[in-house]
Amino acid sequence: MSYDAFINKEYPPFEIEVERGRLRFFAKATGATNPIYFNDTAARAAGYADIPAPPSFAYCITMDAGQSFNVLEDMDIPLPKAVHGAQGFVFHKTIIAGDVISGRQKITNIFEKKGGVLLFIETLIALKNQDDEPVCDLTSTIIVRNG
């Protein structure tokens, strides 16, 4: 099956408000110990307007917005055939508690390897805050086992 028609496809935009409690929970779950991730006074003393998001929290925003499986569902690919092959982050500005983050997922490339046994789907999600400032670009590679 040719998936070329999906290259450059964009999915509907999403918007998520970043909550302090969610940031604290994520920081604790990932083993963060810096008080800026738990205490707004410590965060302000460090120069932040509020509690900052740990760097990889940007991926949680995309998961909370339902972006994890929409590409596979759209392409009629069964979930058991897919694995998350790679994740990349380009940070522009720190995400802070209270930010309203918006984004839109786009399929940037699709290619095969091993004679079609492996299908690679590359996506980009550019996140912006409520002031339309870029905060993080996330690139993902999904690998699908065919055969």
Along the 147 residues of the chain, how does pLDDT read in single tens digits?
678 899 999 999 999 999 999 999 999 999 999 999 999 999 999 999 999 999 899 999 999 998 888 999 999 999 999 999 999 999 999 999 999 999 999 999 999 999 889 999 999 999 999 999 999 999 999 999 987
- pLDDT value for 96: 98
Tokens found for residue 21 = 């409690």
Chain-centroid distance of CA 22 in Å reads: 15
Whose structure tokens read 């596979």?
72
C-alpha closest to that of 92 among 80, 105, 103, 77 = 103
DSSP at 119: E
Contact (Cβ atoms closer than 8 angstroms) between residue 123 and residue 140:
yes
- pLDDT value for 1: 67
Q: Please, what sign has the CA dihedral across residues 27, 30, 34, 35? A: positive
Chain-centroid distance of CA 116 in Å reads: 27
CATH number of 4-145: 3.10.129.10
- pLDDT value for 147: 72
- pLDDT value for 2: 79
Domain ranges of the chain: 4-145
- pLDDT value for 116: 84
Residue 87 bridge partners (DSSP): 140
Can you give the pTM of this predicted structure?
0.90
**66 Rama sector, left if φ>0, alpha if ψ -120 to 50, beta otherwise:** left
